Amino acid sequence: MCKYDAICQKLYPYQKDILDELLANSNDDPHMHTMVYLPTGGGKTRVAAAFAILEGIFKERTIIWFAHSHHLLEQAHKAIRSLLLEIHAGKSAVIVDPFIEHNEIFIHCKSGKHMKDITKQHKIVILSVCTAANCDYFYENKFTEDAIVIIDEAHHAVANQHQDAYGLLTKNRLTIGLTATPTRTLFREIPMLYDFYDNAVISKIDIAYLIEHGFLAKPEFINESPLSFSDNQATHNSCIKVLEHFLANKDKYGKTLIFAANKPIAEKLKSVFEGNCGTKVWLTHSCVSPDVIDAFKASPTGVLINIEQLIEGVDIPDIQTVIIIGKPKSEITAVQMIGRALRKPAGIEKEVAYIVGFLDPHECNLEQILKNSTPECYKENARSAYTMLSRDIPKSLQ
């Protein structure tokens, strides 16, 4: 069996279609900049790992994989490692720390303080954008010529820190961006995003396809009245309402992720839930150790109250319910929040995911927002941005 066939056996048909288009495009243009759109749970990371192995490892091109969070780094590391093991099952040992060594394939997945450990022996480097942007010495004669660059959460690529990191690389590189939300909140930045990925936008399926074919759980939307957090008493009363709703549905809601608008509301919600909801309660925000998320991830039950930290890049497929108690900052954010509950865990039946919104449906209709998260809608929105800014619409959007 050839290497390509061995890889494709590990992919779903729609993932293979995306891989085939990436391979064809890269054959036409070895330095292409292409964006891949796949909804949450569609396997973006696995498709990119397959491409990295075929076009990078097997052709001796170095892969630089950018992510912007601890969890995305681990996810990329796991995807490449598992796919290598699957296609070379039993052929050689795997050393996980500090490198994976597999038939002289080295993967480095470390933070900034370990960057000087990297040598040209490392065939795949997985690193945070923050680390790369602040480590000029990383680029000194390392991995800059003819590299394959993979950017997780590709819609962030136009942000300043991301541009700082990519700007240090040579232009002779192949770039693939991965995203479930190929757009930007600021209208003027949408053309910047599509200018960056100027070769093509690959999109084969939408979220409705994944739900219909059983790859994702079917969302059941539950609309509750908006809450008031105007003062301490109103905040307390609102948190009680959320608790009462949870208790009334506890048996079916299962493992639950709650998105709070800010830290004071999240802390109040935790104090109300703790000791009253009959299950373990965690709170996480930017200043909290990742160990809290890991503990929630490992637990079969519980409630995690979160301040927009688990919006993207965290895979906890046994989350049964998402509760949103403040209007998301954008439709992008709303889609990412909903997506946290749609994944299906391996070996566990999960047909329905509950999406609870304490929101004004006229201001934020979660069900409609999800329906609009299709390749066609994203492309039409991008074309509108180019037109509004008096810009020519690129070939990738035509």
pLDDT digits (tens, 9 = 90+) for 76-134: 888 888 888 777 654 433 323 233 344 444 455 555 444 444 445 557 788 888 777 77
- How far out from the chain centre does Cα 96 lie? 23
Alpha-carbon distance of 381 to 184, in angstroms, equals 10
Tens digit of each residue's pLDDT (9 = 90 or more) over 267-284: 999 999 998 998 999 998
Residue 171 burial (CB count, 10 A) = 9
Average pLDDT, whole number, for the chain?
A: 85
The arithmetic mean of pLDDT across residues 303-332, rounded, is: 87
- The single-letter DSSP state of residue 337 is H
Q: What distances in angstroms separate CA 133 from CA 46, 154, 171, one per listed residue? A: 26, 16, 16
Q: What pLDDT is stored for residue 288 in this prediction?
A: 66
324 burial level (CB within 10 Å; 0-12, 13-18, 19+) = buried
Alpha-carbon distance of 173 to 373, in angstroms, equals 30
Q: What pLDDT is stored for residue 130 in this prediction?
A: 78
More confident residue, 112 or 198: 198
Please tell me the number of Cα atoms within 13 Å of 146 on its side-chain side. Answer: 8
Alpha-carbon distance of 143 to 64, in angstroms, equals 8
287 burial level (CB within 10 Å; 0-12, 13-18, 19+) = exposed
Check: CATH 3.40.50.970 for 212-372?
A: no
pLDDT at 41 over 70: yes
Nearest-10 Cα torsion for 154, 64, 110, 295: 40
List all residues 6 or more positions away from 165 whose beta carbon is below 8 Å from its beta carbon: 66, 129, 132, 133
Helical segments of 274-314, H only:
290-298
3-206 and 212-372: same fold?
yes
Instruction: Name the residue among 63, 77, 53 with its Cα closest to residue 5.
Output: 53
Alpha-carbon distance of 141 to 147, in angstroms, equals 12
Q: What pLDDT is stored for residue 1 in this prediction?
A: 58
Q: What distances in angstroms separate CA 285 from CA 23, 267, 309, 316, 386, one per listed residue? A: 39, 10, 6, 17, 36
pLDDT at 313 over 60: yes
Confirm if 165 and 66 have CB atoms less than 8 A apart.
yes
**Token representation of residue 167:** 């700007």
List all residues 6 or more positions away from 285 whose beta carbon is below 8 Å from its beta carbon: 263, 266, 306, 307, 309
Q: What pLDDT is stored for residue 131 in this prediction?
A: 75
Q: What pLDDT is stored for residue 395 in this prediction?
A: 87
Q: What pLDDT is stored for residue 102 in this prediction?
A: 40
Give me the CATH topology for the region 3-206: Rossmann fold (3.40.50)
Tens digit of each residue's pLDDT (9 = 90 or more) over 299-310: 999 999 998 666
Pairing of strands 124-128, 218-224: unpaired
- Binning pLDDT at 50, 70 and 90, where does residue 3 land? confident
Share of the chain above pLDDT 70, in %: 86
Alpha-carbon distance of 101 to 124, in angstroms, equals 11
Q: What pLDDT is stored for residue 113 in this prediction?
A: 44
Give me the residue spans of the domains in the chain.
3-206, 212-372
Q: What pLDDT is stored for residue 338 in this prediction?
A: 95
Alpha-carbon distance of 227 to 181, in angstroms, equals 28
Alpha-carbon distance of 17 to 124, in angstroms, equals 24
The arithmetic mean of pLDDT across residues 46-62, rounded, is: 89
pLDDT at 136 over 80: no
